[in-house]
Chains A and B, each alone.
Chain A
Amino acid sequence: MLSTLIYGLTIGGILYIISIGLSLTFGSMRIVNFAHGMIYTTGAYILIAVLPLIQGNFFEGMLIAILVVIPISFIIEKFIIRRLYGESIDYAIIATYAVLLIGVDLVKWIWGTSPIPLSDPVGKGITFLSIEIPVYRLMIILVSISICAGLWIFFKKTIVGKIVIAGLQDREAVRSLGISVDKYFSIVFVLGSCLAALGGVLYAPITTVHPYMGFHILLISFAVVIVGGLGSLKGTTISAFALGMVMAITGRFWGPAAEAMVFAVMAVVLIIKPIEV
């Protein structure tokens, strides 16, 4: 039971890291960003590419992956996302999906289609209550909690964070104060993308790294965002960990059904509380 709990928190933590970026873009620009999945995939693959060059230093690999992703997400934001602003949401979905498609094919081209295994960078476990818990999973939980705290400080205490919160609520009102709110949303987009890459890097050792992994995680992240309430950061946080637990618990009884269960939860939530976008 304890290992399931830890696993649930681990998945929850990763879902949180990935979904926050999605929730921000969704809440701020009302754009569904499929390209987020591409950035996630890129993070994992850059890590894999770079590891042999830096003697397997996982931490450095993580930093490099994030750094590489910054200009990529900047370009996506500038040439695609910005043009979709205010357009019908269907076009945003299709366009960002196209970016994901291009990205997936690029990955297939460079690295091939077969999954690439990556080993647990820590490899050790600690025994607690006579159960072996991998240290790596605890680290992921710690990282996600730190990010949660960091974001909380950012949004509650810094002026940029407050502009974003106000902008999420009422974009026009922020603009009417003379603040070019879109510039801040772009910063938020890049920030969210960095988190997606981080999520990809962290998840890579405990899942399969393959070209379609972004597509995979995207659906679950969207479920997290929808269940948590669109544009609600607090909601996303809670639902990320909750759905992580759902996945872990379901996985314990019937492995492959874990993801399907997440969607079942999403469907139930939508029946009880239907939403408009």
Chain B
Amino acid sequence: MLLAVNCLDVHYGYAKALHDVTLHLLKGEVVCIAGRNGAGKTTLLKTIAGFLKPSKGSILFDQKPIHGFALEKISLMGIRYVFQDKRVFGELTVRENIELAAYPTKEKVSDSISRILNLYPRMSVLMDSKAKGLSGGQRQILLIGRALIGEPKLLLIDEPTEGLSAGIIEEILNVIMRMKGELSMLVVEQNLSVVSRMADRVYIMKEGSIFKEIVDRAVIEQSNALEGYL
């Protein structure tokens, strides 16, 4: 068991955002979290990543507790969070973005760059342009590429296909599918057809708690069926 979340409660001030959330992730799995807006999906991901501290419950990574740890520490332990909104360091170039990400790890910048180019060869022409000039899809790929530096064990990806056109979504999906198997991923995704294609298992969230866990591949592959649960 790579990740085990048990009975997690998270508060924003007095408001309870997550209620008794329990989920798990096995090594090599791609698990999707789906749900309507405001269901708490991002809050859950951010709590696992260390942005937020749970008020109750536990998070175990490789059987070791990580709840309450600092964000930086969790990142260095091998859990990487990929932001929503395609937030890159706009003022730095693509190359500098990668340099920055490689800095705290032992990885050589040239290796990081080759990895991204493997995933997305067209990035080579963009290496020295400012990241803010990249399109949404390119930024998403840069974010994922950055997150892969240092060979993390778990990726927490927040709405990777949001706001992207069908063609770009296809590219992102390819990138994710190629990482599948080597890497475990917990992906928040609202696009159910994408969920259908990438997920091994699906958790549906409603109003701050896990509503349903779907393990049956047959059901997952039918995005209409998934819709029914939302």
Contacts and interface: CB of A to CB of B under 8 A. Distances in A.
| A and B touching (Cβ–Cβ under 8 A) | yes
Interface of A: 159, 162-163, 165-166, 169-170, 172-180
12 contacts: A159-B103, A162-B99, A169-B90, A172-B51, A173-B87, A175-B71, A176-B83, A177-B100, A177-B104, A177-B146, A179-B72, A179-B104
Contact of A178 (B87, B91, B104): B104
Contacts, number: 55
A190 to B, nearest CB: 21
Interface of B: 49, 51, 71-73, 75-76, 80-81, 83, 87, 89-92, 96, 99-101, 103-105, 146, 150
Nearest to A168: B91
A172 B100 CA distance: 14
B92 A177 contact: no
Contacts of A176: 49, 51, 71, 75, 80-81, 83
A178 B99 contact: no
Contact of A173 (B83, B96, B99): B83
Given A165-B91, A169-B90, A180 B72 contact: yes
A176 B49 CA distance: 8
Nearest to B82: A176
Contacts of A179: 72, 100, 103-104
A165 B92 CA distance: 8
A17 B100 CA distance: 28
Q: Mostly helix, strand, loop or mixed at chain A's interface? A: helix
Contact of A163 (B49, B87, B91, B100): B100
A178 B105 contact: yes
A177 B72 CA distance: 7
A165 B80 CA distance: 21
A169 B92 CA distance: 10
A169 B89 contact: yes
B11 to A, nearest CB: 17
Identify which of A159, A165, A173, A174 gathers the most chain B CB atoms within 10 Å of its CB: A173
Given A178-B104, A178-B105, A173 B72 contact: no
Nearest to A176: B81
A176 B75 CA distance: 6
A22 to B, nearest CB: 20
Contacts of B101: 177
A175 B89 CA distance: 13
A159 B99 contact: yes
A165 B91 CA distance: 8
A172 B90 CA distance: 14
A175 B87 CA distance: 13
Contacts of A159: 99-100, 103
Nearest to B103: A159
A179 B80 CA distance: 12
A157 to B, nearest CB: 10
Identify which of B73, B76, B101, B105 gathers the most chain A CB atoms within 10 Å of its CB: B101
